[in-house]
Amino acid sequence: MFATNVLAPYILTALMRRPQRLIYLSSGLHRGTTAQLDDVLWRTRRWDGTKAYSETKLYDTMLAFAIARRWPDVFSNALEPGWVPTKMGGSEAPDDINQAHLTQAWLAVSDDALVTGQYFYHNQRLAPNPQAEDSNLQDRLIAVCESSTQLALPN
């Protein structure tokens, strides 16, 4: 899960030519967890799929904010699309799947979305998990990603 949800966006970010905007997909579940950067691969903890997913979404938000801090010329933000009825979300999910993509599109193209280091839900700023804004944790996450991939973020 860490490889797919965190290392993949990290690698793409590190390898692409620096864009004007970056958008990282998080989840509201990120607010209910804590960073476990000493065991991102769950080698010493008993596996919990929901907690593992939640942690990766916290890391995605941390990654967005770390990039915003390191690359001030790039608008880097995170968002949650909402809990929508999908195979993963289940049929009882309360949000409208037809609305889930709109914040991503807005952040990608709107002149009203020229902000960085912010978290969004339905085109509105929303407070993220406070750990996401911790620059020390962000730097530790980047170090974990660099070590795992042997790929450093360009300055």
Please report, in tens digits, the pLDDT of each residue of the chain (155 residues total): 999 999 999 999 999 999 999 999 999 999 999 999 999 999 999 999 999 999 999 999 999 999 999 999 999 999 998 777 677 777 787 777 778 888 999 999 999 999 999 999 999 999 999 999 999 999 999 999 999 999 999 98
Task: Tell me how far apart the alpha carbons of residues 103 and 113 are, in angstroms, rounded to a whole number.
Answer: 10
Predicted TM-score (pTM) of the model is: 0.94
Q: How far apart are the first and last CA of the chain?
A: 27
Report whether 124 contacts 101 (CB < 8 A): no
| 3-state percent breakdown (helix, strand, coil) of the chain, nearest 5 | 45, 10, 45
Q: Which residues are catalytic?
A: 53, 57
Report whether 63 contacts 10 (CB < 8 A): yes
Task: Tell me how far apart the alpha carbons of residues 79 and 115 are, in angstroms, rounded to a whole number.
Answer: 13
CA–CA distance from 28 to each of 15, 16, 40, 78 (Å)?
A: 28, 27, 19, 11
The domains located in the chain, with CATH, are 2-149 (3.40.50.720)
